[in-house]
């Protein structure tokens, strides 16, 4: 690994009174992110591919959309948007996805993250003790959490709701919901990524390119302080009671799981359902699967405006031309709030910047994914690469990479794995994770507009929530009985007046 000092609520007017909306600056189909290979400087823009070379774009589309009136338009080609498209297409809908850059490109928060899925990591960000810990971390430029001081009423409102969610009862309720959602998602990923793959609408299963992008086999949680390990031990009974197969490892078991790896830790836990996606490979292959299923994916296509009439979104204007979908799903990650703000809606979302450093895999690196407990850093083995990720920085829509934050991640990894070999950096990247105050995504009808839906706010565990979140969105939009309670995800749950309590009225079924 490199040296630590290496390079470095929604409030809205009634939709029927809303005017046609002109250009929407910044609203586009992406989850957010900026990549920086071999260094620390930020790209010129979150959609700029800089010097990444081959972006892996799939059949880049240079003309007008082939389909101007899809049943459903999904704004956003990140993990959340693609799973919405997948489940909607399984239901028979004609679906178009727009993504402002290449699918899986560095502009997307799905591009460079650690890809953790499975049942581990269901705890919400808002927990008892977090506000006090956060105040201490604010003074440390290399801490796992920070808020950039600035005048921002939306941030102040978000922090107020976040503080209210930091109690035992609310945190336990969120944990239950998120653990169930991640469990459902893991089952879907196992089916989707099986060697032969699942059959699509009217199609037979065949060889599955997604199989190599999904890996499971357990996950380690390591602690380098006695206090941290004891806290981890105390969390085991609650996790097991919620169906998470977490257990304490003895030193011999840790050595057997990771022979040849030098840990400097006081103890470790193990979750046999730990799993991860290799990204961005999974995103690119999933897009190919969706295209084979008949989903139209328009890359390098930004949303620039909406037209409304009679309380409904009638037309979506894009850089490739206008689209007139029957239903529109906003799954644009951190850009979702800006996207719908021009329709008079406010979302309780904040972009939470995270960083990853991808290095050439050391010969003595862990073979399992590892979460470094006190340091809040994740490690993902990716074959010939190793990805190190961490931090949560509330700094607005700023993709710039902080040298000090990256140095903090590297130092944290070195403190837990002091003997790991030094290898070259392949890529340094930042991504903007769309976070709600309670860590539960916003899934359901958007305000009083007809035909407008939300599937955003999946936050720091979006890879593990998107599969089941996409299914719930499709069930609500189609007027089907949902297989999970939609109430915890209701976009209006913060007391604002913009969303109907249920999305079943006016649901559509596709022929």
pLDDT in tens, 433-453: 999 999 999 999 998 899 999
For residues 342 and 408, which has the higher predicted lDDT (pLDDT)?
A: 408
Q: Which two tokens stand for residue 375?
A: 């340091």
* Measured distance CA(213)–CA(198) in Å, rounded: 15
- Mean pLDDT within 320-325: 94
264 DSSP assignment: -
* Measured distance CA(490)–CA(173) in Å, rounded: 15
* Measured distance CA(446)–CA(328) in Å, rounded: 10
- Considering only CA atoms, which of 58, 90, 78 is closest in space to residue 329? 78
Element (H, E) at 413: helix 403-416
For residues 506 and 153, which has the higher predicted lDDT (pLDDT)?
A: 153
Inter-residue contact 219 to 258 (CB < 8 Å): no
- Considering only CA atoms, which of 436, 339, 346, 420 is closest in space to residue 379? 420
* Average pLDDT score, the chain: 83
* Measured distance CA(318)–CA(453) in Å, rounded: 18
Q: Tokens 């630590």 identify what position?
A: 4
Q: Which of 203-212, 383-392, 452-461 has the lowest mean pLDDT?
A: 203-212
- CB burial readout 465-474, b (16+ within 10 A) else e: bbbbbbbbbb
Q: Which two tokens stand for residue 381?
A: 């083995």
* Measured distance CA(229)–CA(249) in Å, rounded: 11
Element (H, E) at 257: helix 251-257
Q: Which of 219-223, 394-398, 484-488 has the lowest mean pLDDT?
A: 394-398
Report the DSSP beta bridge partners of residue 372: 222, 377
- Kindly indicate the confidence band of residue 89, based on its pLDDT and cuts at 50, 70 and 90: very high
The radius of gyration of the chain's CA atoms, rounded to the nearest angstrom, is 22
- Kindly indicate the confidence band of residue 500, based on its pLDDT and cuts at 50, 70 and 90: very low
Inter-residue contact 89 to 201 (CB < 8 Å): yes
Inter-residue contact 338 to 27 (CB < 8 Å): yes
Q: Which two tokens stand for residue 108?
A: 């997307």
- Considering only CA atoms, which of 100, 167, 112, 19 is closest in space to residue 429? 112
pLDDT at 128 over 50: yes
Q: Output the pTM of the full model.
A: 0.84
Inter-residue contact 468 to 184 (CB < 8 Å): yes
294 DSSP assignment: T
Inter-residue contact 323 to 314 (CB < 8 Å): no
pLDDT of residue 145: 73
Q: Tokens 């490739």 identify what position?
A: 320
* Measured distance CA(410)–CA(386) in Å, rounded: 12
Residue 414 has phi, psi (to 5 degrees) of -65, -35
Q: Which of 140-154, 220-234, 394-408 has the lowest mean pLDDT?
A: 140-154
Q: Which residues contact 250 (CB under 8 A, 6 or more apart)?
A: none
Total residue count of the chain as it appears in this document: 511
* Measured distance CA(63)–CA(100) in Å, rounded: 14
pLDDT at 290 over 80: yes
Q: Which two tokens stand for residue 39?
A: 């260094």
* Measured distance CA(269)–CA(240) in Å, rounded: 12
């Amino acid at each position: 690994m490199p040296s630590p000092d290496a390079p470095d609520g929604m409030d809205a007017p009634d939709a029927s009174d809303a005017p046609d909306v002109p250009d929407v600056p910044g609203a586009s189909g992406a989850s957010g992110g900026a990549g920086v290979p071999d260094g620390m400087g930020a790209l010129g823009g979150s959609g700029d591919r800089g010097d990444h070379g081959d972006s892996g774009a799939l059949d880049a589309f240079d003309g007008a959309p082939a389909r101007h009136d899809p049943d459903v338009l999904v704004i956003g080609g990140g993990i959340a948007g693609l799973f919405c498209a997948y489940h909607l297409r399984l239901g028979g809908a004609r679906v178009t996805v727009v993504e402002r850059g290449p699918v899986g490109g560095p502009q997307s928060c799905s591009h460079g993250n650690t890809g953790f899925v499975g049942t581990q990591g269901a705890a919400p960000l808002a927990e008892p003790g977090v506000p006090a810990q956060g105040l201490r971390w604010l003074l440390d430029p290399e801490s796992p959490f920070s808020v950039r001081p600035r005048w921002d009423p939306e941030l102040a409102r978000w922090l107020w709701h976040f503080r209210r969610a930091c109690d035992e009862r609310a945190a336990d309720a969120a944990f239950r919901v998120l653990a169930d959602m991640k469990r459902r998602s893991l089952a879907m990923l196992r089916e989707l990524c099986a060697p032969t793959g699942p059959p699509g609408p009217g199609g037979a299963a065949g060889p599955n390119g997604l199989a190599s992008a999904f890996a499971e086999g357990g996950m380690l949680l390591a602690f380098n302080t006695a206090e941290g390990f004891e806290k981890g031990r105390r969390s085991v009974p609650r996790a097991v009671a919620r169906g998470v197969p977490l257990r304490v490892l003895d030193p011999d078991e840790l050595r057997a799981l990771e022979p040849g790896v030098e840990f400097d830790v006081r103890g470790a836990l193990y979750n046999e359902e730990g799993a991860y996606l290799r990204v961005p490979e999974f995103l690119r292959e999933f897009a190919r699967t969706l295209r084979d299923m008949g989903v139209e994916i328009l890359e390098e296509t930004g949303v620039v405006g909406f037209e409304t009439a009679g309380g409904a979104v009638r037309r979506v204007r894009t850089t490739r031309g206008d689209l007139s979908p029957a239903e529109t799903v906003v799954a644009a990650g951190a850009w979702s709030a800006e996207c719908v703000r021009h329709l008079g809606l406010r979302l309780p979302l904040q972009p939470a910047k995270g960083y990853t450093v991808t290095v050439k895999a050391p010969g003595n690196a862990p073979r399992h994914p590892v979460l470094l407990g006190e340091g809040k850093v994740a490690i993902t083995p990716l074959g010939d690469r190793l990805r190190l990720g961490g931090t949560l920085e509330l700094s607005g829509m700023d993709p710039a990479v902080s040298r000090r934050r990256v140095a903090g991640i590297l130092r944290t990894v070195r403190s837990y794995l002091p003997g790991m070999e030094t290898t070259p950096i392949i890529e340094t990247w930042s991504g903007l994770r769309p976070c709600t105050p309670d860590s539960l995504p916003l899934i359901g009808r958007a305000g009083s507009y007809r035909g407008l839906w939300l599937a955003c706010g999946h936050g720091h565990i979006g890879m593990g929530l998107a599969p089941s979140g996409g299914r719930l969105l499709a069930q609500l939009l189609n007027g089907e009985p949902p297989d999970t309670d939609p109430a915890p995800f209701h976009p209006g749950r913060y007391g604002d007046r913009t969303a109907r309590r249920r999305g079943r009225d006016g649901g559509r079924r596709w022929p």
